[in-house]
A and B are shown apart, each in its own frame.
Chain A
Amino acid sequence: MEENLTVERSRVPLTKTDFVSDQMVKWCPGCGGHAILASVANVFPKIGYRKENFCMVSGIGCSSRFPYYVNTYGFHGIHGRANAIATGVKVSNPHLSVWIATGDGDSMAIGGNHFIHTIRRNVDVNIMLFNNQIYGLTKGQYSPTSPIGSVTKTSPQGTIEHPFNPGELVLGAQGTFFARAVDTNVKIMTEVMLEAARHDGTSVIEILENCVIYNDAAHTQITSKDLRDDNQIYLKNNEAMIFGKNREKGLRLAQGGLEVVTIGENGVTEEDLLIHDQYSQDPSMHLMLAKMSLPHFPVAMGVIRSAMYSTYDDMVEEQIKNAKENTKIRNVDDLLNSGDTWEI
């Protein structure tokens, strides 16, 4: 993938400290936000852009305090509107690397509309979706990603709503980039953030985040030390889809969809396993991978989809360039005097 050349690169090497803000981080001790923040501080210097060219935008929620904690240009918006605000920032100035910190309330509920339309347009922004499956800032109500049956303060008998799978929503909205990571794995978070930065178009990174106060251990089945190797599959482009403690399991295409197989059993060899193609234009396989869930499948981590497609902001610039080259109206005086006018 080519790097986005519209953002100016830093002439001096940058480090983590260039992005640390002087503000006290006010997330709860043990909140997944801390690890995400650390990953961003790791990744931004590696991306290599001038530090003034980063702009962090957020909505409302715990995740959305993020801009105050990174030393970049930053905009803490209103509930649900981060994606709309960020679209304005990017279209106005395509030379900025725009990052959005949002949550499952902010982008899946109140801001769902802006989320899908930003993705559909393929605006070149990077969305970090902190998915803790709960409303934390308002103290523990269920969210659009809470699993059915979740007991929360507004669902004492368990939720009766079907949750969104953010990956499915992204691909349904014709998303060009979707990655998933867990807040406990800084290495994978860093890798997918770097790929997101390099992707031209809307990049969505779903980060499975732990809310230590209101939804503790929500992702334990996926993240705990003894379960994670069997319950996650880390997808790498051009590599076979292998997982398991002893890397003995894999994914294969069977009738009606994917199938988990064990290498060595029933004559299955590594050759039979699927090879991950994150750049495929066709999203069908990406959708199957994004939808995999426990207990029958591992949860897919890493970059699931990264397809090339023109970005909205690039096309705006191109149309402006073409229009300027092919016009007789070069300024507002020309415009005012165009068409039917007469002298008195």
Chain B
Amino acid sequence: MQKFFKTMTKKKNDVITKEDVVVKFVGDSGDGMQLTGNLFSDTAALEGNDLANFPDYPAEIRGPINTIAGVSGFQVHIGHKRVYSSGDMCDVLVAMNPASLKSNLKWAKKGATIITDYDTYNDKVFEKSGYTVNPLEDGSLSDYNVIQAPITTLTKEALASLNLDNKTAEKSRNMFALGMMYFMFNWKQDKAFDFFAKKFKKKPIIVEANKLALMAGYNYAETVEAMSITYNVPAAALDKGRYRNISGNIATAWGFLAAAERSGRPLFLGSYPITPATEILMELSKYKNLGAKVFQAEDEIAGICSAIGASYAGSMALTTTSGPGLSLKSEAMGLAVITELPLVIVNVQRGGPSTGLPTKSEQSDLMQALYGRNGECPLVVMAAASPSDCFYAAYESAKISMEHMTPVILLTDGYIGQGSELFRIPKTASLASITPPIAEANDKDFQPFKRDPNTLVRKWALPGTEGLRHRVGGLEKENGIGNVSMDPANHQLMTDLRYNKVMKVADTLPLQEVTGAAEGDLLVVSWGGTYGAVHTAVEDLINEGKKISHCHFKYIMPLPKNTEEILSKYKQIVVCELNSGQFVQYLKINFPKYNYTQYNKVQGLPFNVSELSDKFNQILKEI
């Protein structure tokens, strides 16, 4: 190694202070890009940066090596300023092979630094990755600051003393690349060493290999000319407290555990594996120590039906799924509606229709969530705004479902489900209490469908309780007494009661908030997992002095009570969503007299801040 650098001269580095930086690590599925990205992100967190991450997996588990189908990525957005999304385009692209460069170059800003493993560039690989000529030599990268590092060779050299076989030694290539990033961000290497020691506790040889590779990468970066510019991203001004990194799916699982603990109702999850919702099922499976009962059902229908049975028996019942699974659960959702039992259905939305784009993100199940059942079948629909918000959204959906004896659909999506961000750890005692309306034993006045006159909520009578034997079911029931009833007037009454019960949930919801002026030219409306990008775009324009405000919805059915009042205060409303315009249709149905436009994207990708800003600027010009 010393030999290699002998002829190079060490340069003085210019340190540039940045508000935020987006880094994307890409490589073959087996190149360890997720781990590399996570370590990068964890280090930034320890440096006090705000951050948001997004893993970008292929639909295949391990696509063929060196092909575009096999590329796996991990994007990290770190900031001195507050970071609300994993970022549009990257400032630094670490591409471990030609295929990953080819598929990700479009995400690199002009002028971005590209670090790539020179050793992987040969004719055989070009063919597999779809290049006809060497992209490092044909001038196609002239707009970028390209660092062609012989990563494979140098990693193997650095690890020579360990006498590892070639394959094992090459596995540390990713840590060589990470070492270069540590240098680029002026981070101390011992932070990485601490991670290795923890992560590979049982494999000291791997700890050593990764350490040597990281050091080699760091030293290489220090010496190579192209790395003359390094970054400093100062710590962000975050609220005091204890923090951790959390993905939306994990946060969803934990929010439910918190709700079960606070409500005293044991958690039951009935679920069937489906991308990208499976992580919630896997995560909750770990917590038998907290009493969580997780049932991996034989199909989506058994998932929800077992949850409905568990709800009847007194559990805080959940089912988790993604688009196609929601379709399969439709009939059973109706059963939960007519039996007026608490149940949370989590839909981690993905690209549709049918199998669609399983690993990509979309917001195209909104209409299905609102209306996709037979009969008049109202239930509560909520949507989480960000990875960390999934914790609160899950908690609240469980609270609403139990306190109002209604199923709730909680919409998240693949982007916030798999993406992660900083999470300020709350104390569970600070969360709102949950008090399910459980019927008391031997209540002489008990009737299965007798209602609280204010909330229209019936009592939850748990099997095993003395004096409350009763029957529920999918046939229409007589209000109050709960006998099967085909009486026309009763059906009208029950239909109205079920609807009004759901609408009355709005009495307990916080009022909708607006970012920016309370009235003005343009109101940007968004909902669910697009919060980060839309908020960033609007905030930037507000800072530029534009008359623009933002209203982001988490409660969709029912809407917060002041929704119309807000809509009425702006000349123009633009509703942004990752579908063809489902929420805007819903708003038009509810509040027809306002001036709506829409901005939609159905590409399986999240919004870019820049495309939103362009759209908003264009509308502002036209107003």
Chain A residues in contact with chain B, CB under 8 A?
8, 21, 23, 50-53, 55, 57, 60, 67-68, 71-78, 81, 84-93, 95-96, 113-114, 117, 316, 319-320, 322-324, 326-327, 329-333, 335-337, 339-344
Contacts and interface: CB of A to CB of B under 8 A. Distances in A.
B254 A88 contact: no
B471 interface: yes
A335 B290 contact: yes
A219 B258 CA distance: 55
B308 to A, nearest CB: 6
Contacts of B472: 74-76
Contact of B268 (A23, A51, A78, A88): A88
A320 B293 contact: yes
B310 A52 contact: no
A95 B315 CA distance: 13
Contacts of B123: none
Given A88-B308, A337-B425, A76 B471 contact: yes
Contact of B463 (A78, A89, A319): A89
Most buried by A among B48, B425, B471, B475: B471
B291 A117 contact: no
A14 to B, nearest CB: 13
Interface stretch (B142-150, B213-221, B294-302): B294-302
B38 to A, nearest CB: 10
Interface string B460-500: 00111111111111110000000110000000000000000
Contacts of A72: 469
Nearest 10 pairs between A and B by C-beta? A76-B473, A88-B309, A88-B306, A327-B289, A84-B305, A92-B310, A74-B471, A323-B288, A73-B463, A85-B309
16 contacts: A23-B483, A52-B468, A67-B473, A74-B472, A76-B474, A84-B270, A88-B307, A88-B315, A91-B310, A92-B309, A96-B313, A329-B287, A332-B428, A335-B257, A340-B42, A344-B240
Given A76-B471, A76-B475, A84-B297, A91 B257 contact: no
Interface residues of B, number: 68
Interface string B91-123: 000000000000000000000000000000000
B290 A332 contact: yes
Given A90-B313, A95-B464, 4 more contacts: A23-B483, A85-B309, A88-B270, A342-B243
A320 B291 contact: yes
A68 B268 contact: no
A336 B244 CA distance: 9
B313 A329 contact: no
Contacts of A89: 309-310, 312-313, 463
Most buried by A among B295, B305, B425: B305
A86 B305 CA distance: 9
A328 B171 CA distance: 34
Contacts of A320: 288-289, 291, 293
B463 A344 contact: no
B331 interface: yes
B238 interface: yes
A78 B331 contact: yes
B344 interface: no
A81 B301 contact: yes
Nearest to A113: B298
Contacts of A90: 309, 313
Nearest to B298: A117
Identify whether the interface residues of B are mostly helix, strand, loop, or mixed. mixed
Given A78-B474, A88-B310, A331 B464 contact: no
A91 B268 contact: yes
Contacts of B268: 88, 91-92
B424 to A, nearest CB: 8
B335 interface: yes
A92 B315 contact: yes
A73 B446 CA distance: 14
A88 B473 contact: no
Nearest to B424: A344
B349 interface: no
A84 B287 contact: no
Interface string B220-249: 000000000000000000111111110000
A11 to B, nearest CB: 11
A57 B317 CA distance: 18
Contacts of A55: 313, 463
B306 A336 contact: no
Nearest to B303: A84
Contacts of B288: 319-320, 322-324
B314 interface: yes
A75 B311 CA distance: 11
Contacts of A57: 309
B331 A344 contact: no
A52 to B, nearest CB: 5
B426 interface: yes
A35 B63 CA distance: 61
Contacts of B370: none
Contacts of B181: none
B261 A331 contact: yes
B335 to A, nearest CB: 5
Contacts of B48: 344
Contacts of A319: 288
Contact of B287 (A21, A333, A335): A335
A341 B242 CA distance: 7
A91 B293 contact: yes
A105 to B, nearest CB: 16
Given A329-B290, A332-B258, A73 B469 contact: yes
A55 B339 CA distance: 16
Contacts of A84: 270, 297, 301-302, 305-306, 309
Contacts of B317: 88, 92
B46 A91 contact: no
Contacts of A344: 48, 238-243
A182 B258 CA distance: 50
A276 to B, nearest CB: 32
Given A85-B309, A88-B295, A320-B293, A331 B428 contact: yes
Contacts of B291: 320, 324
Nearest to A57: B309
B266 interface: yes
A87 B309 contact: yes
Contacts of A52: 463-469
B3 interface: no
Contact of B290 (A67, A73, A331, A342): A331
Contacts of A71: 469
B621 interface: no
B45 interface: yes
A344 B462 CA distance: 45
A327 to B, nearest CB: 4
Given A78-B335, A332-B428, A91 B306 contact: yes
Nearest to B257: A332
Contacts of A343: 241-243
Contacts of B462: 93
A333 B262 CA distance: 11
